Amino acid sequence: MTDIWSVAGRTFRSRLIVGTGKYKDFEQNAAAVAASGAEIVTVAVRRVNVSDPTAPMLTDYIDPKKVTYLPNTAGCFNADDAIRTLRLAREAGGWDLVKLEVLGEAKTLYPNMRETLDATEVLAKEGFLPMVYCVDDPIAAKQLEDAGAVAIMPLGAPIGSGLGIQNRVTIRLIVEGASVPVLVDAGVGTASDAAVAMELGCDGVLMNTAIAEAKDPVRMARAMKLAVEAGRDAYLAGRMGQRRYADPSSPLAGLI
């Protein structure tokens, strides 16, 4: 049974998107991506080191022809910087599918939603297909969708915190209200967190630190792959109702 999902007309099998930051080296990063089964990786756009142009590059280890590079505006704190970064990313990579995040402050890395909305509008007008990092607020999610977001990416918890999905109610409300894919972006710490996101009906999960900072990143990447698949299956299967008290699984009739 094939379970696929689409964003802006592009179809993927894997519902796990992984970052490419914080790894020990490119080899470990590439091995983790392979173990995760991810078909999309997020990448950052940064200045070339002009004093050492022969330094190894990410593209030497993770082939952009095989894995979709999703340029990300991590580190941008206003709409202008984010837009400028993605214009460069489009020129460097040649594709329009991008991930927008406009941060509000360094301490929490919470998004600045006013700037995020402004940037989404500009990018959509310029032909970009922005997947947008946002607060877990169903109203903000609708506003982003109206502004041209092709995917809504609410945080489960602060970026890099590993605290797991803090508000299942708002994530579920966003999923129910959205007509574009919803992917939890940030906050996942371990496999069960990814499963929770998928059980809430999300179309996918994006993570980086949970894999990169695990003691064995490649093994955690595999765990995340399985967790995303398990959570998705559980969502599709439809979970049992919850009861306040016990209900025996064995028949009461015929007891000796």
Partner 1 sequence: MGCSAKGKARRFYVISVILNGEPRQVREGSIADLVASLGLDAKKVAVERNRAIVPRSTLADVALAEGDALEIVHFVGGGC
One residue of 12, 15, 19, 224 binding partner 1 per CB under 8 A: 19
One residue of 12, 15, 16, 20 binding partner 1 per CB under 8 A: 20
Task: Retrieve residue 120's tokens.
Answer: 């989404």
* 8 Å CB contact between 235 and 196: no
Closest to partner 1 by CB, 31 or 234: 31
Residue 106 binds partner 1, judged by CB under 8 A: no
CA atoms within 13 A on the CB side of 157: 18
CA atoms within 13 A on the CB side of 177: 18
* Coil vs helix vs strand at 86: helix
Task: Retrieve residue 86's tokens.
Answer: 């993605």
Nearest C-alpha neighbor of 206 from the set 1, 20, 22, 8 = 20
Considering only residues 161 to 220 of the shown chain, the ones binding partner 1 according to CB under 8 A are: 185-186, 206-209, 212
Smallest gap from Cβ 96 to partner 1, in A, equals 14
Residue 45 binds partner 1, judged by CB under 8 A: yes
Number of chain positions touching partner 1 (CB under 8 A): 44
Using CA atoms, how far residue 56 sits from 49, 52, 60, 119, in Å, is: 11, 10, 7, 32
The question of whether 99 is a catalytic residue gets the answer yes
Closest to partner 1 by CB, 115 or 146: 115
One residue of 16, 35, 93, 164 binding partner 1 per CB under 8 A: 93
Considering only residues 66 to 85 of the shown chain, the ones binding partner 1 according to CB under 8 A are: 69, 71-72, 74, 84
Residue 58 binds partner 1, judged by CB under 8 A: yes
Catalytic residue of the set 22, 24, 99, 225: 99
Residue 21 binds partner 1, judged by CB under 8 A: yes
Nearest C-alpha neighbor of 194 from the set 23, 16, 68 = 16
Phi, psi of 50 (to 5 degrees): -70, -15
Four-residue CA torsion sign, 165, 13, 149, 41: positive
Residue 104 binds partner 1, judged by CB under 8 A: no
Residues with a catalytic annotation lie at 99
Give contact residues for partner 1 (rule: CB under 8 A). 19-23, 26, 29, 42-48, 50, 53-54, 57-59, 64, 69, 71-72, 74, 84, 87-93, 101, 133, 159-160, 185-186, 206-209, 212
